[in-house]
């Protein structure tokens, strides 16, 4: 079998990691917390980006969809009309 060295190397890596976890418990706990925070952050970012890019997916004719926005300078507030309710009502 050609990949037997790869399997052996992976087994040795797992054994070495388990020995390291047994010896240095605080370091292992810090690593576990770090990887948990990293995975959670990555998941939140991916879900946010997916939501932002799928905003207009429910509309069948996306090419005709426009978003009108404006800025109120006195209060530094951005406003936008995102719902096509008036277009639907008059058609």
- Confidence (pTM): 0.47
Q: What is the pLDDT of residue 71?
A: 64
SS (H, E, C) 23-48: HCHHHHHHHHHHHHHHHHHHHHHHHH
pLDDT along the chain (91 residues), means of 10: 79 85 82 91 95 75 70 64 55 49
Structural domain harbouring 62:
4-90
| Number of independent structural domains in the chain | 1
């Amino acid at each position: 079998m050609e990949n037997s060295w790869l399997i052996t190397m992976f087994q040795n890596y797992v054994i070495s990691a388990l020995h390291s976890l047994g010896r240095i418990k605080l370091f292992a706990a810090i690593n576990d917390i770090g990887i948990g925070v990293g995975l959670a952050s990555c998941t939140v970012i991916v879900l946010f980006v997916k939501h932002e890019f799928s905003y207009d997916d429910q509309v069948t004719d996306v090419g005709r969809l426009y978003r009108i926005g404006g800025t109120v300078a006195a209060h530094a507030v951005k406003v936008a009309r995102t719902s096509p309710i008036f277009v639907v009502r008059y058609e």
